[in-house]
Amino acid sequence: MRPRKIGTRGSALALWQARTVAARLHERGTPAEIVVIRTGGDRLQDAPLSELGGKGLFVKELEDALLAGDIDLAVHSAKDMSAMLPDGLTIGAALPREDPRDALVLARGTTVVDFEAALAHIGEMPVIATGSIRRIAQLTAVLPHARFTPIRGNVDTRLRKLDAGEYEALILAAAGLRRLGLETRISAAIPLDVCIPSPGQGIVAVEIRDDDRGTRDVVVPITNPEAAASLAAERAVVTALGGGCQLPLGAIALHVPQGLSLQAVVVWPDGRQAIRRSAVGSIENAAALGTGLADELVAGGAGEILAAVRSGVTP
């Protein structure tokens, strides 16, 4: 069997993801070759993502290479993928989900026992590093006097700035820290009732060409059905709400005895109002569950918030 070319970014986390996919393919008899591709998000490290077009900058070059046939599959953090994939591409597999929550990270040497203790430690007016409008909008409810500042760069760079005292706290995805062996840097996982994560957070997605049946056949066996169902439900929420990057939108689908429990939130960027909805449905109808919940969000006023954010006019 010919080796499959796996496209990936060159960051430590992206390489961990690509090597994990390669190892799982190898276990099933498919050799793989990793191809590192530099993306726009990697090249443009100084400006906030909101000014550059959002997280899609981390996938565009990979998708271009996939469409051109230069690679056979692209490996992404699912949260970085656009709601609408380019024509001709599809998600072929999803690996088991890591902790989907956001993590509050304090300076090295700080000992806390839970989220409330972490909040008490940083005080009422901390400087918190995150460029995510979703995180800022939700965390403003519990930290109304905090100052949020954008930050770019790889995980090590962000941690060095934190430890150097440039800010009191840093928000990162818990999954990335755990996968890099940095779980001890998680001062506190942020509860889901405080901050619902980005759709797809904690899931590694494998993107392939629609018409490449050979690659589809070799990646389908490595997919995790639970992660795939959660991802389908969460992405359906985003798609039904019109997609877009850097929106104050969170969604998380958890597996429960009844099937899938889906929660989603749309928040005014200043945190003054959050539209939250939840629903439970079958795993087989995950996408329909997400679409239905998006309709409930719109009925509750989410459409007004998203329209204002997209237009850049928020009162």
Same domain, 3 and 91: yes
pLDDT for the residue numbered 313? 67
Q: Per the structure, how many domains does the chain have?
A: 3
CATH, residue 296? 3.30.160.40
**What CATH number corresponds to the domain at position 56?**
3.40.190.10
| Both structure tokens of 217 | 């056949």
In a shared domain, residues 230 and 218: no
pLDDT band for 208, please (50, 70, 90 cuts): very high
Same domain, 277 and 306: yes
Judged by average pLDDT, the poorest of 54-58, 79-83, 201-205, 238-242 is 54-58
Question: Is 129 contained in some domain?
Answer: yes
User: Which residue type, as a one-letter code, is found at position 258?
Assistant: Q
| pLDDT tens-digit readout, 103-157 | 999 999 888 879 999 999 999 999 999 999 999 999 999 999 999 999 988 899 9
Per-residue tokens: 105: 């990270």
Q: Which of 19, 60, 64, 152 is catalytic?
A: 152
pLDDT at 276 over 70: yes
Q: Given pLDDT bands bounded at 50, 70 and 90, which one contains residue 315?
A: low
Spell out a b/e string for 218-233, using b for 16 or more CB atoms within 10 Å of the CB, else e: bbeebbbebbbbbbbb
Q: Is residue 197 part of a domain?
A: no
Residues 129 and 258 in one domain: no
Which of 4, 24, 79, 235 is an active site residue? 79
Residues 80 and 209 in one domain: yes
Q: Do residue 209 and residue 77 come from a single domain?
A: yes
Residue 101: its pLDDT value, please? 98
Is there a domain that residue 313 lies in? yes
**C-alpha of 232 from chain center:** 14
Identify the active-site residue in 42, 64, 163, 245. Answer: 245
Determine which one of 4, 97, 158, 179 is catalytic: 158
Q: For residue 152, indicate whether it is catalytic.
A: yes
Known catalytic residue at 178 = no
Same domain, 288 and 219: no
Q: Does residue 296 lie within any of the structural domains?
A: yes
Where is pLDDT greater, at 39 or 297? Answer: 297
**Domain contains 198:** no
Pair of tokens at residue 230: 């959660």
pLDDT mean across residues, the chain: 93
Domain of residue 268: give its range: 224-315
pLDDT at 109: 85
| pLDDT band at residue 312 under the 50/70/90 scheme | confident
- Whether 64 is catalytic is no
Quote the pLDDT of residue 243.
82
Same domain, 2 and 86: yes
216 and 162, same structural domain? Answer: no
CA distance 50 to 89: 25
Entry field: residues in the chain: 315
CA 21 – CA 180 distance, rounded (Å): 15
Q: Which two tokens stand for residue 302?
A: 């989410």
Cα 48 from Cα 55, distance rounded (Å)? 10
Residues 209 and 233 in one domain: no
φ, ψ (nearest 5 deg) of residue 100: -85, -5
Same domain assignment for residues 303 and 218: no
User: Is 272 among the catalytic positions?
Assistant: no
**292 is a domain residue:** yes
Q: One of 97, 134, 179, 209 is an active-site residue; which one? A: 134
79 as an active site residue: the answer is yes
User: pLDDT tens digits for 63-118?
Assistant: 999 999 999 999 999 999 999 999 999 999 999 999 999 999 999 988 887 999 99
Q: Is 115 or 243 the better-scoring residue by pLDDT?
A: 115
Q: What residues have CB less than 8 Å from 34, skipping those under 6 apart?
A: 6, 8, 15, 18, 19, 22
204-209 and 89-94 as β-strands: parallel, antiparallel, unpaired?
A: antiparallel
Same domain as 218, residue 233: no
Which position among 5, 24, 72, 80 bears the catalytic label? 80
For residue 189, the model assigns a pLDDT of 96
Is 196 a domain residue? Answer: no
